[in-house]
Amino acid sequence: MTVEPVETRAETRATHVGLAITALALGGFAIGTTEFVTMGLLPEIADGIHRSIPTTGHIISAYALGVVVGAPVIVSLGARLPRRGLAVALVLALGIGNAVTAVAHGYSQVMVARFLAGLPHGAYFGVASLIAASLVPEDRRGRAVSGVMLGLSVATVAGVPASTWLGQGLGWRSAYWAVLGITVVTMVGILAFVPSSPGNRSATIRGELTALTKPQVLFALGAGMIGFGGIFAMYSYVAPLVTDVADLSRSAIPWFLLAFGIGSVFGSWLAGRLADWDNVRAIVVGFLAIVGVLLAVVAVAGFPLALWLMVLGVGVLGSVLAINLQIRLMHSAGDAEMLGAALNHSALNIANGLGAWLGAVVIADGHGYRAPSLVGAGLAGLGLLVFLLGLTRTAKSVPQGTSGT
User: Which H or E element spans position 290?
Assistant: helix 253-300
Better-scored residue on pLDDT, 201 or 43: 43
Cα dihedral: 256, 258, 259, 263 (round 10): 150
Q: For residue 33, what pLDDT is reported?
A: 92
Average pLDDT over residues 350-362: 86
Residue 330 has pLDDT above 50, yes or no: yes
Which amino acid does the sequence have at 34?
Answer: T
Mean pLDDT on 386-394: 85
Q: Please give the residue that has the higher pLDDT: either 97 or 276.
A: 97
- What is the distance between the alpha carbons of residues 165 and 172, in angstroms, rounded to a whole number? 9
Can you tell me the mean pLDDT for 181-196? Answer: 93
Question: Which carries the bigger pLDDT value, residue 292 or residue 328?
Answer: 292
Q: How confident is the model at residue 112 (pLDDT cuts 50, 70, 90)?
A: very high
Please say whether the beta carbons of 220 and 384 come within 8 A: no
Q: Please state the rounded mean pLDDT for residues 255-259.
A: 86
CA distance 308 to 313: 9
Evaluate if residue 203 carries a pLDDT over 70: no
Q: How many helices (H) and strands (E) does the chain have?
A: 17, 0
| Dist CA 310 CA 259 (whole Å) | 9
* Relative orientation angle of helices 6-40 and 106-134, to the nearest 10 degrees: 160
pLDDT of residue 38: 87
Q: How confident is the model at residue 76 (pLDDT cuts 50, 70, 90)?
A: confident
Question: Rounded to an integer, what distance in angstroms lies between the CA atom of residue 113 and that of residue 119?
Answer: 10
DSSP letter assigned to residue 244: I
Which residues neighbour 296 within 8 Å (Cβ) at sequence distance 6 or greater?
Answer: 306, 310, 313
Higher pLDDT pick, 83 / 78: 83
404 pLDDT exceeds 60?
no
Shortest CA distance to 75 belongs to which of 212, 275, 228? 212
Question: Distance between CA atoms of 110 and 261, rounded to whole angstroms?
Answer: 25
Handedness of CA 291, 293, 299, 304 (dihedral sign): negative
- Within 10 Å of residue 51's Cβ, how many Cβ atoms? 17
Q: How many residues does the chain have?
A: 405
Q: What are phi and psi of 288, to 5 degrees?
A: -60, -45
End-to-end CA distance of the chain: 40
What is the DSSP track for 149-203?
HHHHHHIIIIIHHHHHHHHHHH-THHHHHHHHHHHHHHHHHHHHHSPP----TT-
pTM of the model: 0.75
Please, what is the average pLDDT of the chain? 84
The number of beta carbons lying within 10 Å of the beta carbon of residue 109 is 14
Helix or strand run (H / E) with residue 131: helix 106-134
Task: Write down the pLDDT at residue 354.
Answer: 87
